[in-house]
Amino acid sequence: MDNSIFDNTTSASASSSTTQDDNLDALESIIPNETISTNDESVVGSEGVIEKEEPPVEPTPEIPSVPAIPEASPFSPESVVSSLDAQASELNDIAKTNFIRTYTKEFDDTLHRATQAIQKILDSIDTVIRDNTNDIMIPSEASEFLDEVPKDGKVPKFEEAREIVNQIIVHAEQAKQQSEQAAAEAAQIYDEVQKFKRDTEEKIAELTTKEV
């Protein structure tokens, strides 16, 4: 019997066995990859999973708390007293102002009439310049301040109107000075009256207080 067929089978079997052994040797020679990254940023290597070392966390310095400053209550005794004092001072100032005005009213009214008369003369001068007319109107309000009232209440020249204005200004300045003097005298009288009232009230309280 020819054994060549068996020889070929044997040869093929031996060749197949050799190939399998070579494959096993190749698999055993594979070295694990040490650079594979995972989701938690650790590394997989031949010795297992290497945990990533986190940097040390420095403690947050504590900020010392500042004690709160209590707000002053608008209804505290101090605020109530202060409010009453302010109201009393305001009422006192109003009363004093009204008292002074009664003393200066005559001079203040004179000053007002004088300035009104001057303003009307200035307006008349503007009208003459604008309309190219000849006469400057002098209002009746100026009459009380003039030594001589112009005829028909008008003057033909600017120099005459300027002289009239200067005469009225003199009276206006006098009225202002008299008003200031009257105000000073009235303020002094008011202060003296108030002091007298306080002193008298204190004396009454002293006389009516019974000693225990």
pLDDT tens digits, one per residue of 103-131: 999 999 999 999 999 999 999 999 999 99
What DSSP state is assigned to residue 45?
E
Answer whether residue 191 is part of any domain.
yes
The residues near 105 (Cβ < 8 Å, ≥ 6 apart) are none
Assess if residue 100 is contained within a domain: yes
Domain around 201: 91-207
The more confident residue out of 26 and 193 is 193
In whole angstroms, what is the distance from residue 178 CA to residue 142 CA? 20
Q: What is the pLDDT of residue 53?
A: 56
Structural domains counted in the chain: 1
Say if residue 182's pLDDT is above 70.
Answer: yes
Q: Is the dihedral of CA 107, 113, 117, 122 positive or negative?
A: positive
Q: Is 117 exposed, middle or buried (0-12, 13-18, 19+ CB in 10 A)?
A: buried
32-62 pLDDT, tens digit each:
444 445 455 544 444 444 455 555 666 555 5
Q: Does residue 200 lie in a domain region?
A: yes
pTM higher than the cut 0.85: no
Residue 20 lies in a domain: no
| Banded model confidence at residue 25, pLDDT cuts 50, 70, 90 | low
